Structures are given as structure tokens and as C-alpha cells.
Amino acid sequence: MKKVLSILFCAAALVSAQAPKRAPGFCLADSNGQWHDLADYRGKVVIVEFMQTTCPHCADFSRVLAGLTGKYGSRLQVLSIALPNDNPQTIREFVVGHKVTWPHLFDQGQVAASYVRAPGLNFPAIYLVDQNGMIAGHWEYSVFTKGYFEADQLSREIDRLTGASTKK
């Protein structure tokens, strides 16, 4: 089992060591009908989250995202993107029910397809976009990536991009 885990971690390291790719652009409406263009957030670190309102991990992750928006303030923008079977009504209910303050956008699948480029997606899935619009990291929820969704690994990645001190 240790050998399998070692191979998986090495593979993850190789994938993350590849040259950065430009984040695909998009412009989507949020639950209030306001449009959000990824290019408008150039100069900030952006978390692009693909989620579903019925996903329990997504609901839990919203608390982590709330903490990150509080910690980084104007240096960070979160854009959550819901996919079908969600609709504008379920997104509004999620936003109100979880008291989130960042935009929740609705995608018919085109934006997700431009990011994912593979069949299937585990929710939540996040893409960390740096200040220059390049994808700095990508993680889908799994037993191997829980630290990004439940602990402070995502915060460490944001610290690295923003130059924030990780010393306490």
C-alpha cells in the first residue's frame, strides 16, 4: 500500500511540476444576474471552484472558502461555478442558506469543459489561478486531496502566490 501511495504522490508532483497553462477565459452571470469575467480579476489570485449545490463536500468547503476570503481580503477572489442539475434558483438558495459572500455562477457546461478536458469531475474541483491568469494548481476532492478542501494546504498555495509569510 505504501508503494502505491508513493507512486500516486510522485505522479501528483510531476503533474504539478508541469509548465503553467493560461486559465480559459469566461464570463458568466451570478445568482443576482451580475456578469463576472475572469479577466476582470487580473492582479488577484482567483479560486475557480466547480461545485453542485447538493454536494455535501461543497457545502463544507464553502466554510473553508469563507475563511480564505476573510484571510486574504482583496488579494483573493473566489468564483464558484455550479453545473447542471443546478439552476439559478438552487444556486440562490445555496448562497442564502450558506451565507456566502462571493459570486456563485451558473454554467451550462461550456466553461467546465474548457477547464476539465477529461470525462467526469469530482466535486468540488478547484483551479487556482495566479495574478497573471495562469493556472497555478488544480485539485478535485478525493481522499488524497482532502488537505486542500478540509485543512490548510490551499492557504499555503495562496501564501506562495501572494508572497504572504507562512510563519506564525
pLDDT tens track for 97-154: 999 999 999 998 899 999 987 777 789 999 999 999 999 999 999 999 999 999 999 9
pLDDT: which is higher, 126 or 13: 126
pLDDT value, residue 43: 97
Residue 136: DSSP 8-state: E
Cβ(81)–Cβ(160) below 8 Å: no
Return the CATH number of the domain spanning residue range 20-162. Answer: 3.40.30.10
Distance of alpha carbon 82 from alpha carbon 55, whole angstroms: 11
How far apart CA 80 and CA 105 sit, in angstroms, is 6
Going by DSSP bridges, is the β-strand pair 45-51/125-129 parallel, antiparallel, or unpaired?
antiparallel
Q: Which pTM was predicted? A: 0.85
pLDDT at 2: 58
